[in-house]
Amino acid sequence: MFRKRPISIFRNPRLLPAATPLAIAGLLILQTGAQETRKRPRPDFATFEDAAEAARWKGVGGAEAAPSRDFPSWQTHSLKVRIPAGSTGGVETDYVPEDWHRFEALQFFAYAEAPVALEVEVRDARGQTARRGVKLEKGVNHVQVRTSGFKGVDLRRIEGLALRAQSPQESVTLYLDRFRLTEYNEVLARFGKMDAPYGLDVETPHVKWARPYAGGPVHVLIVPDVAHGRAAVEIAQRLECRLEPVTLGASSGKNRWGFGDFYGQRGYSYGAPFTLAYTYLADRLLNGPEYDVMVLPGSRPWEEFPEIVRRKIRERVENGMGLVLIDPQVRDRERAADLWELSALEILDTEPQPAEGRFWQRAADHFITRNVPLEAFPDDQMSHRKTRAHGQVLVQAANGDPILAVRQVGKGRVVTAAWVQRGMIPLVEDQWNTGATWRYWEYMYSLLARAIVWAARKEPAAGLQAIRFDSSGGARYAVVRAGAPAGARVRTTVRDEFWETESTGLERIAQPGSEITVALPSRPRGVHHFVDVILEDAEGKVIDWGSATYTTQPPTLVEGIEFSSDRF
């Protein structure tokens, strides 16, 4: 049995005059109803980039709320909320998603200029409310509130959200950003920020140049690149230090997608993708402890850093914090003018200078370069930026280009390296074409560690003074002169060109300034040899360290192997 087809007023002209007013009235009713339906945002419902969106958030209880460019976490704006002392004021909005029941958590970012207790309140369509308390620490906070904790409200029909302070003793200013409904992130809850936990749980082969260090651990604020964050751990394996890392991606993609636990959450790929990392860095500079030294590789251009970050770096250096700048980047020289007031080298040309034929050489005697075998570096595969020195040059290319320099800024020491870097040590363009069969990177890390120690003012009062070689009487010796106290020990390791150990030794120093003679292998293997010397105190902690190289001519060398045929 077939149903009768409905009659359409548009198919039956005889019905049109009578039906038209009714149809128009119906359309007007539908349109009016659509206008009365309140528009709801998506689960990511507040980033305060739009003025109209920010206007939907109102200050209550004497609090003031307005958009700000300070301490954002997603793009360029946050919501600044100033809460008077003793007030239960805060901010509220009705611009929220309606259905919350499918989401595990309400998540938002808050930068607090002082610790404060907040009450997070949600209101449903029936007027019922539920509240959860959170405590904000001074500085950066990632707040997560489980939606299951909002008892007694209909999570399918949420109408409003409010944040209220719990009567702070003094006025407090908050910067709020990126409110969203999402899953509860256990790693974020445990770690407190969208970064990586740096540790020594996974070790790679390395030389403990200064670990443990007699001068005590060096407290280092370090800003590694996302793709080469391991470099911070490599330094910590070799130099005893307490790392305070803030990871910054060299590109927007790496910065956003480089962390599995926060995949896609550390920034947007367009606009201002590095905002969160810059706010983390501002927090560490404003609210962190006293650091011995800051290590800042050129992952991003200097002028891109927020003004508050650049200013606080300068202030901390003037007050005594050391600074190690590695391959600093600039795109706009005028906007980066404050960098040249701080750096020991001024970048003149950002293009890497040709490395071929420009071997590195020591330009001055200094703790940083003392007993570092620059000749072990594969300099024909390394490059540097064209610079002008604003301090004492320690390493230069064969044509005189400055590569490493130091200067004093206020009470702080500054080291600037112009080498093109990857993971903070010099980038080796083609590691398979260096001709180096030894672990040259160990000596690069040795140089970097000495720069960090010197900038931190933790170099020893008396250490290794010289390593020289003596072949008088037919035998070969390494002569080590050290200014260490009596009872200190000189630990030596001699390695061949494949970095296999040829001999080891341990000698005690009889009196300060005395020389230790170390017999070298009578039958050395290969041509190139490395003598690594570590000066220890009586407890086995490293006072100083250094290396030297020498060559021998074996009676026979294998220059190559050839087959009689390319197939058998």
In this predicted structure, what is the pLDDT of residue 32?
45
In this predicted structure, what is the pLDDT of residue 353?
87
Could you give the CA distance from residue 336 to residue 339 in angstroms, rounded to a whole number?
6
Alpha-carbon distance values, 275 to 50, 106, 281, 298, 400 (Å): 17, 21, 10, 17, 39
Decide: helix, strand or coil at residue 461.
coil
Domain(s) labelled CATH 2.60.120.260 in the chain stretch across: 44-191
In this predicted structure, what is the pLDDT of residue 28?
43
Could you give the CA distance from residue 434 to residue 444 in angstroms, rounded to a whole number?
15
In this predicted structure, what is the pLDDT of residue 482?
85
Helix (H) or strand (E) holding 316: helix 307-318
Domain(s) labelled CATH 3.40.50.880 in the chain stretch across: 218-455
The answer to whether 381 and 412 have CB atoms below 8 angstroms apart is no
In this predicted structure, what is the pLDDT of residue 2?
39
> Can you spell out the DSSP letters for 92-152?
EES-S-S--TT-SEEEEEEEESS-EEEEEEEEETTS-EEEEEEEEPSEEEEEEEEGGG-TT
Q: In angstroms, how far is the first alpha carbon of the chain from the final one?
A: 85
In this predicted structure, what is the pLDDT of residue 101?
96
The 10 Å Cβ neighbour count of residue 476 is 18
One pLDDT digit (tens) per residue for the chain, 568 residues: 434 444 443 344 444 444 444 444 444 444 444 444 678 999 999 999 999 999 999 999 999 999 999 999 999 999 999 999 998 999 999 999 999 999 999 999 999 999 999 999 999 999 999 999 999 999 999 999 999 999 999 999 999 999 999 988 899 999 999 999 999 999 999 999 999 889 999 999 999 999 999 999 999 999 999 999 999 999 999 999 999 999 999 999 999 998 889 999 998 888 889 999 999 999 999 999 999 999 999 999 999 999 999 999 999 999 999 999 999 999 998 899 999 999 999 999 989 887 766 789 999 999 999 999 999 999 889 999 999 999 999 999 999 999 999 999 999 999 999 999 999 999 999 999 998 999 999 999 999 999 999 999 999 988 898 899 988 766 688 888 888 887 899 999 999 999 999 999 999 988 877 888 988 998 888 899 999 999 999 999 999 999 999 999 888 888 889 998 988 8
Helix (H) or strand (E) holding 130: strand 129-136
Q: Look up residue 30 and give its two tokens.
A: 């539908």
Could you give the CA distance from residue 299 to residue 278 in angstroms, rounded to a whole number?
12
Q: What is the CA radius of gyration of the chain?
A: 32
Cis peptide before 245 (omega within 30 of 0): no
Could you give the CA distance from residue 347 to residue 327 in angstroms, rounded to a whole number?
9
pTM to 2 decimal places: 0.89
Which residue bears the tokens 């002209």?
A: 13
In this predicted structure, what is the pLDDT of residue 38?
72
Could you give the CA distance from residue 78 to residue 84 in angstroms, rounded to a whole number?
19
Could you give the CA distance from residue 259 to residue 254 in angstroms, rounded to a whole number?
8
Torsion angle of C-alpha atoms 505, 511, 515, 517, degrees rounded to 10: -30
User: Going by CATH, does the domain composed of 464-551 fall within 2.60.40.10?
Assistant: yes
Domain(s) labelled CATH 2.60.40.10 in the chain stretch across: 464-551
Burial zone of 530 (CB within 10 Å; 0-12 exposed, 13-18 middle, 19+ buried): buried
The 10 Å Cβ neighbour count of residue 225 is 25
Question: For the chain, how are helix, strand and coil distributed in percent, rounded to 5?
Answer: 20, 35, 45
Which superfamily is assigned to 218-455 in CATH? Answer: Class I glutamine amidotransferase (GATase) domain (3.40.50.880)
Q: Options 2.60.120.260, 2.60.40.770, 3.30.56.10, 2.70.98.10; which CATH number does 44-191 get?
A: 2.60.120.260
